[in-house]
Amino acid sequence: MSTNLKNSLTDDLIVSASFVHIGQPVWDGRIPRTVIGIWDSGVMDGTSSLLGWRGISYTATKHDTEYIVVYARSGDSIDLSGVPWGDPSVNHETDISDHTGRYLQIRLVLVARTAGVR
């Protein structure tokens, strides 16, 4: 899967996001029904003159059995580890204007259902 993200503040492209497993692989004779990959962006600094964040948009090449969930969080400190993620969105364009902090981080969660699973 390929994904391009655009920082709406600077129009810079985040060229790719890689989805990899977390922890050790688990081997089993059964085919998994759902595979999940998580990608977290670096923390973006809107600078002290930030008026507000507008949105997140992305273009993705994916199968019909895959979807992407977008989360965002923001705060006034570069350390966002204690800040909860906002509500999830499955839209290609997500309004994040309710995030008012200077620093912003986004999370993409790829959910892929295996072939033949309904």
**What is the chain's pLDDT, residue by residue, as a tens digit (118 residues)?**
444 444 444 445 455 555 555 556 555 566 667 778 888 999 999 988 888 889 888 888 777 888 889 999 999 999 999 999 999 998 888 899 999 999 999 999 888 877 554 4
Cα dihedral angle (38, 87, 34, 81), rounded to 10 degrees?
Answer: 30
Domain count, the chain: 1
| 106 occurs within a structural domain | yes
Q: Is 85 inside a domain boundary?
A: yes
- C-alpha closest to that of 68 among 94, 100, 33, 98: 94
Q: Establish if 24 belongs to a structural domain.
A: yes
Structural contact between residues 104 and 70, judged by C-beta atoms closer than 8 angstroms:
no
Whether residue 118 is contained in a domain is answered as no
Q: Say if pTM beats, i.e. exceeds, 0.85.
A: no
